[in-house]
């Protein structure tokens, strides 16, 4: 009898947690949808910051408020920031490879309390059996715990799925906006 009650309680708890997770993911998808027209209309006029590296092994690096017109420094990241009083902050990152064999674009969605709740990560890569586009979607609950991690692989710039092998890269993120690399430069402007 006790074993049956324990099994029932565990089952109910699992259903409750699953239901809460699905509710959070549904809210995240709603916010994502609400962001899209804002991104389209505001991305070009938004704050941009530029991360350059230089030196023999690119050991020197710094964020700048303006794009530099120099060949002495390599632009390896660009951050575009859009703030919205109702939705929070969107940070769009362009990441460039020195070798030129991959490119990564990342959208970081922060709520109005500057907590990360969603990451949409896309990589085009030639470090693969065939040129590929990899998409990753990371969902976070209000406590900062990842609740879903999805990955899709396509032939480059298509929606045709692929099972080809590739050199994968980790999705790097911060759970708080003020922990992002560019933050101090952004706030200093």
pLDDT digits (tens, 9 = 90+) for 22-45: 999 999 999 999 999 999 999 999
Flag whether pLDDT at 9 surpasses 80.
no
Task: Give residue limits of the domains in the chain.
Answer: 2-188
d(CA 132, CA 126): 7
Exposure letters 67-82 (e unless 16+ CB within 10 A, then b): eeeeeebbebbbbbbb
Identify the pLDDT of residue 189. Answer: 77
Identify the pLDDT of residue 69. Answer: 85
CA-based nearest residue to 134, from 152, 116, 119: 152
Mean pLDDT confidence for 114-118: 98
Exposure letters 48-60 (e unless 16+ CB within 10 A, then b): bbbbbbeeeeeee
Considering only 3-17, 28-42, 92-106, which range has the smallest mean pLDDT?
3-17
Token duo for residue 149: 């991690």
Name the pLDDT band for 4 (thresholds 50, 70, 90): low
Identify the pLDDT of residue 27. Answer: 96
Could you read off the pLDDT of 128-176 as tens digits, one per residue? 999 999 999 999 999 999 999 999 999 999 999 999 999 999 999 999 9
């Amino acid at each position: 009898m006790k074993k049956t009650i324990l099994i029932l309680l565990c089952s109910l708890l699992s259903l409750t947690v699953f239901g809460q997770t699905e509710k959070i993911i549904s809210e995240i998808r709603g916010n994502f949808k609400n962001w899209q027209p804002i991104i389209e209309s505001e991305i070009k006029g938004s704050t941009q910051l530029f991360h350059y590296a230089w030196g023999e092994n690119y050991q020197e690096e710094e964020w700048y408020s303006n794009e530099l017109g120099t060949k002495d420094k390599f632009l390896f990241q660009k951050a575009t920031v859009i703030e919205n009083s109702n939705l929070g902050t969107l940070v769009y990152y362009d990441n460039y490879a020195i070798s030129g064999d991959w490119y990564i674009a990342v959208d970081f969605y922060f709520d109005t309390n500057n907590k990360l709740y969603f990451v949409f990560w896309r990589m085009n890569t030639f470090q693969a059996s065939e040129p590929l586009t990899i998409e990753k979607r990371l969902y976070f609950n209000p406590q900062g715990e990842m609740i879903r991690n999805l990955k899709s692989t396509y032939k480059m710039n298509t929606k045709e799925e692929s099972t080809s092998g590739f050199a994968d890269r980790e999705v790097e993120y911060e759970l708080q906006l003020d922990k992002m690399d560019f933050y101090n430069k952004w706030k200093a402007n």
